[in-house]
Amino acid sequence: MTNSTIASLAHQPDEMQSPSLINSKRNGDIKAVNEWSEPGPAAFDFRSDTVTRPTEQMLAAIASTTLQDDDFQQDPTTLGLEAWMAELTDKAAGLFVVSGTMGNQLGVRAHLQSPPHSVLCDARSHLVTHEAGGVASLSGAMVSCVTPANGRYMTQADLEAHVNRGRLITDCPTRLIVLEIPLGGVILPLKECCRISKWAREQSIALHLDGARLWEAVAAGAGSLRDYCACFDSISLCFSKGLGAPIGSMLVGSESLRERARWVRKSIGGGMRQAGVVCAAARVAVEATFLGGQLQRSHAHTREIATFWETRGGRLIYPAETNMVWLDLEPVGWTSEQLIRRGAALGLRLMGARLVVHYQIGDEAMDRLQGLMLEILATGFVNHPGQSR
Site residues, ligand PLP (CB under 6 A): 50, 99-101, 104, 126, 180, 210, 212, 238, 240
E strand spans, the chain: 93-97, 118-122, 142-146, 174-180, 206-211, 234-238, 249-253, 324-326, 354-356
Nearer to ligand PLP, 216 or 332 (CB): 216
Q: Residue with CB nearest ligand PLP? A: 100
Question: Minimum CB separation from ligand PLP for residue 237, in Å?
Answer: 10
Q: How far is the CB of 139 from ligand PLP (least distance, A)?
A: 16
Q: How far is the CB of 11 from ligand PLP (least distance, A)?
A: 14
CB of 99 to ligand PLP, least distance (A): 3
CB of 317 to ligand PLP, least distance (A): 17
The helix (H) or strand (E) run that includes residue 158 is helix 156-162
Minimum distance of ligand PLP from residue 154's CB (angstroms): 14
| Minimum separation from the CB atom of position 238 to ligand PLP (A) | 6
Q: Which is nearer to ligand PLP, 85 or 376 (CB)?
A: 85
Instruction: List residues bridging with 178 in a β-sheet.
Output: 121, 208
Who contacts 370 (Cβ-Cβ below 8 Å, separation ≥6)? 305, 308
Q: Helix or strand or coil: residue 181?
A: coil
Nearer Cβ to ligand PLP (48/57): 48
Using the CB atoms, write b or e for 153-174: b if 16+ within 10 Å: bbbbebbeeebbeeeeeeebeb
- 55/104 with CB nearer ligand PLP: 104
Q: What's the closest the beta carbon of residue 356 comes to ligand PLP, in angstroms?
A: 9
Quickly list DSSP for 261-291.
Answer: HHHHHHHTT---SSTHHHHHHHHHIIIIIIT
- Cβ atoms of 127 and 289 within 8 Å: the answer is no
| CB closer to ligand PLP, 239 vs 334 | 239
Supply the DSSP symbol for 327. B
Residue number with CB closer to ligand PLP (104 or 376): 104
User: Residue 57 or residue 99: which is nearer to ligand PLP going by CB?
Assistant: 99
Nearest approach, Cβ of residue 50 and ligand PLP (Å)? 6
Q: 245, 61 in Cβ contact below 8 A?
A: no
Of the candidates 164, 169, 91, 170, the residue with the CA atom closest to the CA atom of residue 121: 164
Indicate the residue among 48 and 370 with the shorter CB distance to ligand PLP: 48
DSSP secondary structure, 187-224, as one string:
---HHHHHHHHHHHHHTT-EEEEEETTHHHHHHTTS--
Give me the half-sphere count of Cα atoms (radius 13 Å) on the Cβ side of residue 25. 12
Choose between 79 and 128: whose C-beta lies nearer to ligand PLP. 128
Q: How far is CA 287 from the centre of its chain?
A: 18
Q: Kindly write down the DSSP assignment for every residue of 340-374, as one continuous string.
A: HHHHHHTT-B--SSEEE--TT--HHHHHHHHHHHH
Give Cα separations from 64 to 69, 89, 382 (angstroms).
Answer: 16, 26, 55
Q: In angstroms, give the least distance from the CB of 127 to ligand PLP.
A: 7
Report the C-alpha gap between 321 and 248 in whole angstroms: 25
